[in-house]
Amino acid sequence: MFGRLDWSAIPITQPIPMITSVVIILVILGALGLVTAKGWWPYLWREWITSVDHKRIGVMYVLLGVVMLIRGFADAIMMRTQQAMAIGGAQGYLEPEHYNQIFSAHGTIMIFFAAMPLVIGYMNFLVPLQLGVRDVAFPTLNSVSFWLTASGALLVNISLFVGEFARTGWLPYPPLSEGTYSPGVGVDYYLWAVQISGIGTLMTGINFVTTVLKMRCPGMSYLRMPMFTWTALASSLLIVAVFPILTATLAMLTLDRYFGFHFFTNEAGGNPMMFMNLIWAWGHPEVYILVLPAFGIFSEIFSTFSGKPLFGYRSMVAATLFICIVAMMTWLHHFFTMGAGAAVNTAFGISTSVIAVGTGVKIYNWIFTMYGGRVRMSVPMLWSMGFIFTFVIGGMTGVLLAVPPADFLTHNSMFLVAHFHNVIVGGVVFALFAGLEFWFPKAFGFRLNEGWGKAAFWFAFIGFWVTFTPLYILGMQGMTRRLQHVNIVEWAPMLQLSLVGVVILIAGAACQVIQLVVSILQRDKLRDTTGDPWDGRSLEWATPSPAPFFNFAVMPNVEGEEAYWGIKQRATEEQQLAPEPNYAPIEMPVNSAVGVYTAFFASVGGFALIWHIWWLAGLALVAAFIGFVVFAWRDVHEFEVPAEEVARIDRARRAARAAVLAQLAQAKGTAS
Amino acid sequence: MLGLGPLFLGGCSGGVLDPVGPVGANDAEILIDALLIMLGIVIPTILLAFWMAWRYRASNTKAKYLPNWSYSGRIEAVVWSIPILTIMFIGGVIWIGSYRLDPFKPLPSKVPPLEVQVVSLDWKWLFIYPQQGIATVNELVVPTGRPVHFKITSASVFNVFFVPRMGSMIYAMPGMVSQVHLQADKPADMFGVSAHFSGDGFSDMQFQVRSVPEADFAAWAQSAKGSSLALNGAAYAQLAKQSRNVQSYAYAAVDPQLFHSIAMMKTPPGPGPEPAGPGHAGREVSTVGRH
């Protein structure tokens, strides 16, 4: 009846997952109770859960990403604590069976369920605003994408309480991940969680490629698009190109595990090396899927906070597309040490280091964006400067690893661990925190507290270097990664120093949380009334904060690069706003529950497949299909916003902008 | 970062920057060369970034404000050239280094190499010395000054054969044979590891490596001959089962076809965990093989 599932699946004898699970369940029940008691369900259902507004979906993606970032960080704390304790004869507090789940979960969660939702969340929130349009190409599909990602995240977290997670690392290399060596449900949790969320990601890619190619506002030619939108396009193109590889590879492993196929097994002609090639043919571009939008965020910040256009905009576009293409030609550097031969290693070593040309150009362009500027060292700019320092060094160690003979000494070592955290934390995570600071007012209508933001940055920056510099050194001393305990006592000081770094990082994370709480309490003081708190340059700043659900009352007409900067310049010169437009009714897509409905049954179906409960899996599939059919047969898919309503909202915005203009004129008058 | 280079060099006795032989020394030299080439551009870049942010800070009204300046063909040419030239240089290092240090390439030497066949098992290393007719578990002894030709395979999952102070690591893969040529030029006590995660007993897949003078090596091989154990089919079947933290020992005799038979999958691969008893649905919590 219940397949492999019975009561023994609950790890009742292991205190750590049990206590964690109980706390999580209590928190969730508490939250649900509060929502029910306060009667917030109708609001949540109408405005968030079934919303197809790209901004709402973007915010939900970010929220999911932040929650999972905290989960992944908790895993990281446990890992660093374990390695600092289990030295010499000591075994630490985590058995290998548990420790191996933790590092596997850490990688899986950080890449698939923290970094990806955060990056996609930013893309969701920003791309339509920057393009001057009212929504993405397929708004309901967008909602489905989000809920499927959430479904995958849910499955990973259920594994904490029911059964176990994979113990194979974040990429389940066969034959270790095959049924022979990993008979438990851990790998199955991994497979179905990543498959379900992967489908969501692929649909997001398609959605954003279509949006950027087909839905730009009048005058928004390709070479007028803001840099973030360009990087979002490049990232989406990569998603469309490589996520099918991930899906196919994991499907093959699933067939091996469930139906005794032999794609990657030791026996019957299976070839595990094929898995390595395929998974990295996805895995390496994945890194650029994450980091390209991060580059976009920094581009926006450097130009805005320098009060200047981005230096070498066309060069930046070229470098982005260059990286986008070369990213797909470097996967083999993840296994130089498999003995492919000198010619193959040379080719992939060079193709890998060639990427550094694209990133190098970008670094210089950001530096020259500051040249001749008026650089304001606000929190987003602090993260950006921290990024340049960190990322340049991470890039350098990356090129070192791309030199095959150097990789022969450092492959899979703590040096490698330090390197990829150096680029992913220093590149992607710093960008996400910078972007959070930067666009928070656009999403919620008030700025974040500056002091706590600066504290968070400094703790994170210093904590990062104290954590990972020792790991570089340990790598040079021959320490390999994923050790549950360490037999060489000479490594103890560096492992303990690294733990000190983690403590500093915890302080940084605490500042970030305090910043949010303090900012909410001070929201009236921090209110952004103008819609343009940073003197921005692209169209998202032309809307009020928070932006109305239809984004733009009338479609903007773009006449150059940096659309909003141009509009502001004109307004300042002419000392008046453009004349009031003729407001017309707007058609907007209606809410849809199909996303949350499909994802619910995807979660049930995934859980059933993990535990071999075939009847339930079949039932869930049928139910999900019914949802799809009902959605496809819908009659009403848009509703009309009356012209008066549009006019009312937009007149408020114009009044705010007129006030700013008057203030500017007055300031000018006093100055002269 | 300025302090990091010397820190690597100084803080690494016993690590990859303290090589005992030509392969490790060449690998390390390339690593340091590539690092220095890149530091030559990385340090000025970082300094330039901080100088730029400081010079053009909003409060510095002495600096020129160029609100519309966003293009300069000359600067563009320079910013593309710097990374291109650096990467061309590094590309040369990659090209030459990859060919010169191809792990499959024999080392130049007057003496014929010692042959060692390496099998990674769950979770220990088997070293077969076909010329001596002996085998060891978790202990590798090599003669100082003589090249060693390792042929490597795996009996179960992927591992990486790595002795940090000897140099180049290489994968141990089931159904495949990889090779690496290494040499220790001075007597040393070292450690070797698996540098690829292979399951629950992975952390103890560490093995002792001793480089000893030729005469001592012969004496050691002779003493291994005195072991009461022989590596036949039954002994191997027992060895292939999962076990953790295995202390080193030797076999006095070994089936000469064993390595070939493992690599060609004629001998069944490692069996993996023993089936969990009832009461552990989907969770692999067995403590089988724990010592």
| pLDDT average, residue stretch A226-239 | 95
pLDDT at B288 over 50: no
Which of A64-68, B7-11, B45-49 bottoms out in mean pLDDT, i.e. has the lowest? B7-11
Q: With contacts defined as CB-CB under 8 Å, which chain B residues touch A375?
A: 52-53, 56-58
pLDDT of residue B102: 92
| pLDDT average, residue stretch A42-65 | 93
Give the pLDDT band of residue B1 (cuts 50, 70, 90). Answer: very low
Residue A375 has its nearest CB partner, among B53, B160, B167, at: B53
Sorted by sequence, the CB contacts under 8 Å of residue A471 that are 6+ apart come out as A414, A415, A417, A418, A421, A494, A498
- Across chain B, mean pLDDT equals 86
A residues 337-366 near B, CB within 8 Å?
Answer: 337-339, 341-343, 345-346, 349-350, 353-354, 356-357, 359-361, 363-366
Residue B67 has its nearest CB partner, among A307, A360, A371, at: A307
| pLDDT average, residue stretch A636-647 | 88
pLDDT of residue A663: 82
pLDDT at A672 over 80: no
| pLDDT average, residue stretch A47-69 | 94
User: Which residue, A37, A93, A15, A36, is CA-closest to A23?
Assistant: A15
For A392, the token pair is 């340049």
Amino acid at A623: A
| pLDDT average, residue stretch A485-497 | 91
Sorted by sequence, the CB contacts under 8 Å of residue A181 that are 6+ apart come out as A175, B122, B156, B157, B199, B270, B272, B273
pLDDT of residue B291: 37
User: Which residue, B167, B162, B151, is CA-closest to B100?
Assistant: B167
| pLDDT average, residue stretch A613-627 | 92
pLDDT of residue B276: 61
pLDDT at B11 over 80: no
Q: What is the pTM of this model?
A: 0.91
pLDDT of residue A270: 84
Residue A372 has its nearest CB partner, among B64, B164, B198, at: B64
3-class state of residue A503 by DSSP: helix
pLDDT at A411 over 90: yes
Answer whether A183 sits within 8 Å of B272, measured CB to CB: yes
| pLDDT average, residue stretch B129-155 | 93
d(CA A394, CA B53): 21
d(CA B102, CA B23): 10
pLDDT of residue B13: 57
d(CA A417, CA A498): 13
For A184, the token pair is 């438990």
Q: Is A583 on the interface with B (CB under 8 A)?
A: no
Sorted by sequence, the CB contacts under 8 Å of residue B207 that are 6+ apart come out as B124, B125, B138, B139, B140, B191, B192, B193, B248
Answer whether B86 sits within 8 Å of A487, measured CB to CB: no
pLDDT at A599 over 70: yes
Answer whether B4 sits within 8 Å of A472, measured CB to CB: yes
pLDDT of residue A97: 87
Amino acid at A373: G
pLDDT of residue B289: 38
d(CA A201, CA A198): 5
CA distances from A82 to A85, A91, A457, A663 (A): 5, 8, 26, 58
| pLDDT average, residue stretch A48-76 | 94
- The edge-to-edge listing of strands for the beta sheet with B134-137 is B178-182, B148-154, B114-121, B124-129, B134-137, B249-251
pLDDT at A392 over 90: yes
Answer whether B45 sits within 8 Å of A367, measured CB to CB: yes
Catalytic residue, candidates A80, A362, A537, A657 = A362
Which stretches within A333-378 are classed as H helix? Answer: 342-370
Q: Regarding predicted confidence, which is higher, A580 or A63?
A: A63
Taking CA–CA distances from A488, the nearest residue in chain B reads B191
CA distances from A512 to A345, A442, A528, B178, B277 (A): 43, 18, 20, 49, 47
Buried b (16+ CB within 10 A) or exposed e, A605-631: bbbbbbbbbeebbeebbebbeebeeeb
Query: Looking at the DSSP assignment, which residues form a beta bridge with residue A587?
Result: A640
Tell me which range, A159-168, A583-592, B207-216, is most confidently predicted by mean pLDDT.
B207-216
- What is the rounded radius of gyration, in angstroms, for the C-alpha atoms of chain B? 26
For A183, the token pair is 């008979």
**CATH label, A7-671, candidates 1.20.1070.10, 1.20.210.10, 1.25.40.10, 1.10.3720.10:** 1.20.210.10
Query: Looking at the DSSP assignment, which residues form a beta bridge with residue A413?
Result: A480
- What is the rounded radius of gyration, in angstroms, for the C-alpha atoms of chain A? 25
**Does residue A472 carry a catalytic annotation?**
no
Catalytic residue, candidates A54, A106, A284, A537 = A284
**Does residue A637 carry a catalytic annotation?**
no
Give the pLDDT band of residue B8 (cuts 50, 70, 90). Answer: very low
Sorted by sequence, the CB contacts under 8 Å of residue A47 that are 6+ apart come out as A56
Which of A2-6, B8-12, B147-151 bottoms out in mean pLDDT, i.e. has the lowest? B8-12
Mutate to test the interface with B, among A101, A476, A612 (most CBs of B within 10 A): A476
pLDDT at B253 over 90: no
Give the pLDDT band of residue A172 (cuts 50, 70, 90). Answer: very high
- The burial class, CB within 10 Å (0-12 / 13-18 / 19+), for A28 is exposed
pLDDT tens figures, A267-311: 788 888 999 999 999 999 999 999 999 999 999 999 999 999 999
pLDDT of residue B280: 56
| pLDDT average, residue stretch A562-567 | 84
A residues 231-270 near B, CB within 8 Å?
Answer: 266-267
On the CB side of B23, CA atoms within 13 Å amount to 34
pLDDT at A149 over 60: yes
d(CA A482, CA B199): 10
pLDDT at A627 over 90: no
Taking CA–CA distances from A316, the nearest residue in chain B reads B76
Which of A203-207, A596-600, B285-289 bottoms out in mean pLDDT, i.e. has the lowest? B285-289
pLDDT of residue B284: 56
| pLDDT average, residue stretch B8-36 | 80
Residues shown for chain A: 672
pLDDT at B9 over 70: no
pLDDT tens figures, B220-239: 999 988 888 888 888 899 89
Give the pLDDT band of residue A4 (cuts 50, 70, 90). Answer: confident
> ipTM value of the model?
0.90
pLDDT of residue B10: 41
User: Which residue, B34, B161, B149, is CA-closest to A412?
Assistant: B161
- Check if the beta carbon of residue A146 is closer than 8 Å to that of residue A60: yes
Tell me the domains of chain B and their CATH numbers: 16-62+72-100 (1.10.287.90), 114-263 (2.60.40.420)
Give the pLDDT band of residue B164 (cuts 50, 70, 90). Answer: very high
Query: Which residue matches tokens 């991940």?
Result: A177
Structural domain boundaries in chain A? 7-671
d(CA B237, CA B259): 13
| pLDDT average, residue stretch B101-106 | 91
